[in-house]
Structure 1
């Protein structure tokens, strides 16, 4: 093992030295250098595409650097795989889904380590389930058990499975990549408590988040990246949101982050839920969305708001009641919803909104067949290319070309593609479920501006969000849900406050 020339490894437990990563002509990291002390929570922040997740994935053994070196506890760090990294003390919770659906929670936790429970040629599932349950119990995770099928879990619970898997390895370095965006308040508090417990025992936490307030609350130091370059480090006494934004973006972020207009929308009801009941979550639920309105929907993670979004779009079966449009059309399928110029942006974009192994163009044009026809049923490849290029340009999607694979893009650029897909077909009603999940401050501001412009042009938007500032900043009216029903309805003219919303949730 190659050794760092240092008398005190604790002050630079992790040392990143001139690390670069190239994907063809794209430079994801450009000679990045910094150190991370032992036993601290170190924030890593930057706009989408800044290189933070790429660097984290190199540390976690997911990929190799192109050049440069990384040292861990004084020894050169170059794991050949994720499993090797885990065995040597580095565990990572990835930004997107890191579980396999068609196996149990226990099998996900011990994936690749099944021989720990072997008895001759057989695997003792009973012992595996018991060991996994002990980990879940220690973490105080009670919303599922070790035998639960992972396919039945929502996004938050699958993230909790990943956390449990990471804890099995008793890591020296715990990397959390944009995990809190998938967690409810309770899930976040569980993770925060775990991070404090780990650092008290000497574990170093690398915490990646776009939530600047969260970073300042949870981190001891913060490293800032921009366009693959290391920009600088902030100590606890230097934390300041404006300073961080300027370092991330390279300029002052000017203009109003949210829209601050008084309540204003038309009388016409464009979408109505009349006593709708679903298999889970919703019972005799009523809702009206008006023309030109941003209607915010909030609540705790299990309140039914995510099911509501799917039911309104025809993606969740309505057992009783109905969803209707202004012209009386009943929405009972996604095909009918799209035909009536409705759009749905899922919270889980990688599973439900994007084809990751397809190109940017293929995703953007996927619902725009009528617009890009040549003649009859035949499509014009030229029209499709021009159509995709326009969305890429209008939304400033960072990609090499319209033929770039979506799976290789950052979270913010993926979300822009989802926006582009629906905006391009001029949708009139947009159901947005956590539309700014996992995007940076600059992209978030651009999305808010876009939502406000759509509102002003007469589009109607149902904004489902777990972020109270987002609901308060963007909504004309807010409905808080609890146990599948409406707990409170508040208009902007009555005054929004986090205190009111939280009281309605609990």
Structure 2
């Protein structure tokens, strides 16, 4: 074995029932390397790295770590050996403190005679937070005080320490703000410079091209190729991922940003927490984008517009009247795709079928009975339209990959034929082929006269898809842009920071 190889897998195979998740996968991770992993949803990326991290065991195959046979029985064992993983989904425990989350499983370090020294735990946790240059989080606070993005930062603090030799980053950047991403990039580059290694999973090709030294492409559980920095090319990567040329059309190709006069959704002088006297109008046949940094208030706008959070002052109106709560919003033909799919968008213990049909049940009902034929037809159409990888429609959603979960959260509203769609980071965690299909579907919805409020942290997505873009900072709109071939990231960024 070469001395610069930190980790090597040989012939790793893993199945889940009839599904072959990994088939004879062999890969070598070297010292000082940032190794990118990319593939369509369900290609095996997360399965491979979860085996390396100790979350689950392979059915067959071997692993070698620092020259020795390696077969961790748990993530705790993996971490003790120096292999840490930041999970794609939420990895913090609610209703306990930040400090308790950071030292979860290591409380013995602060325990004497059966009593935990909370003060010492908080002090050491805060020291670790400060070492990552995170100024917004206090170790003594309850974890519930913080949102999804801050919790992802805390996961980084929890799993990375001086003994970490390999860091696995599984789709973490999609949950982070701009500042959070920069912090993570700085960390992984530092690790690489120290001769450690990073396995970096992302669907963002620009991010992979910028961050990674080597790129491994998986398709249907097998490695289909490996590219060096010099060989990385967007069109080649896309073709390797999907097994075909998906073409150059990704975002909209037109620059006609016109839409109807009719207002389908409006927030009028809305105040909610730091959001004061906020006004915005969405029109028939319009794709209105809202962008900004984390904490700008853009995610709050989506929740208020759908009636999840009730404003202290002001009103939310649709064509059918006031939006008083999310139930009313659904009755008014509105839909909401949440950024945090596991908490707000899906019933994880429910089946793919149950999740897809849930908003549409009133329309499938006849004389208090649900038509099984119509129900099955609706589900099969969405599974086919969005290429949801599932063994069968009765499979639990929590058994799907992160990207396929996102497809389900998207599909349950497109199945309902909603007229006003509020989408908060709708393409988070999905591969380029599905993103392309989603963008084409959004464009079709616009042509059908539907109204879309697209909240996104990706400027390329906003510029590529929207008729208007409202950029928020400090809970107010700082600047609006109209669709234009000349509009670029640099035109927008100055109003965000």
Shorter chain as normaliser: what TM range?
Answer: over 0.9
* Structure 2 residue 88 is matched with structure 1 residue 95: yes
Q: How much has 1:411 moved relative to structure 2? A: 2.0
Q: Secondary structure at the match of 2:227?
A: strand
Query: Which segment drifts farther, 366-375 or 231-240?
Result: 366-375
Instruction: Give 5+ residue unaligned stretches, structure 1.
Output: 1-5
Q: How much has 1:474 moved relative to structure 2? A: 0.1
Q: Secondary structure at the match of 1:135?
A: helix
- 1:273 corresponds in structure 2 to 267
Q: How much has 1:394 moved relative to structure 2? A: 2.4
Indicate conservation of the 8 Å contact 1:323/1:332, yes or no: yes
- Which digits, 9 at most, give the CA deviation of each residue in 1:51-103, with x for residues without a partner? 01100100111101111111111111110111111111110000010111111
Selected match of 1:389 from 359, 368, 380: 380
Query: Which segment drifts farther, 407-416 or 171-180?
Result: 407-416
Structure 1 residues 296, 406: closer, same or farther in 2, change over 3 A? same
Selected match of 2:370 from 373, 379, 386: 379
Q: How much has 1:13 moved relative to structure 2? A: 1.6
Q: Secondary structure at the match of 1:338?
A: helix
RMSD of the alignment, in Å? 1.3
* Structure 2 residue 430 is matched with structure 1 residue 439: yes
* Counterpart-to-counterpart distance in 1, 2:436 and 2:477: 29
Q: How much has 1:178 moved relative to structure 2? A: 0.4
* Counterpart-to-counterpart distance in 1, 2:439 and 2:366: 35
* Counterpart-to-counterpart distance in 1, 2:193 and 2:484: 47
- 1:3 corresponds in structure 2 to none
- Which digits, 9 at most, give the CA deviation of each residue in 1:155-213, with x for residues without a partner? 11000110000124631111000001111111111001111111222221111111111
- 1:134 corresponds in structure 2 to 127
* Counterpart-to-counterpart distance in 2, 1:177 and 1:368: 33
* Structure 2 residue 156 is matched with structure 1 residue 163: yes
TM-score normalised to structure 2 length:
0.98
Instruction: List structure 1 runs of 4+ shifted beyond 4 angstroms.
Output: none
Indicate conservation of the 8 Å contact 1:222/1:235, yes or no: yes
Q: How much has 1:370 moved relative to structure 2? A: 1.3
* Structure 2 residue 204 is matched with structure 1 residue 211: yes
Indicate conservation of the 8 Å contact 1:299/1:480, yes or no: yes
Selected match of 2:31 from 38, 44, 54: 38
* Counterpart-to-counterpart distance in 1, 2:491 and 2:129: 34
Query: Which segment drifts farther, 406-415 or 433-442?
Result: 406-415
- 2:337 corresponds in structure 1 to 345
Q: How much has 1:396 moved relative to structure 2? A: 1.9
- 1:79 corresponds in structure 2 to 72
Q: Write out aligned runs for 1:72-471 (5 A).
A: 72-168=65-161, 170-261=163-254, 262-279=256-273, 281-327=274-320, 329-376=321-368, 378-471=369-462
Q: Secondary structure at the match of 2:381?
A: helix
How many pairs were matched up?
496
* Counterpart-to-counterpart distance in 1, 2:375 and 2:92: 34
Q: Secondary structure at the match of 1:99?
A: coil
Q: How much has 1:241 moved relative to structure 2? A: 1.2
Instruction: Give 5+ residue unaligned stretches, structure 2.
Output: none
* Counterpart-to-counterpart distance in 2, 1:55 and 1:274: 49
Q: Secondary structure at the match of 1:197?
A: helix
Indicate conservation of the 8 Å contact 1:480/1:505, yes or no: yes
* Counterpart-to-counterpart distance in 2, 1:396 and 1:248: 15
Selected match of 1:20 from 13, 17, 30: 13
* Counterpart-to-counterpart distance in 1, 2:463 and 2:61: 45
* Counterpart-to-counterpart distance in 2, 1:224 and 1:409: 20
TM-score normalised to structure 1 length:
0.96
Structure 1 residues 65, 494: closer, same or farther in 2, change over 3 A? closer
* Counterpart-to-counterpart distance in 2, 1:452 and 1:231: 32
* Counterpart-to-counterpart distance in 1, 2:403 and 2:351: 16
* Counterpart-to-counterpart distance in 1, 2:373 and 2:59: 37
Indicate conservation of the 8 Å contact 2:386/2:434, yes or no: no
Q: Secondary structure at the match of 1:479?
A: strand
* Counterpart-to-counterpart distance in 2, 1:228 and 1:19: 10
Q: Secondary structure at the match of 1:16?
A: strand
Q: Secondary structure at the match of 2:395?
A: coil
Indicate conservation of the 8 Å contact 1:20/1:65, yes or no: yes
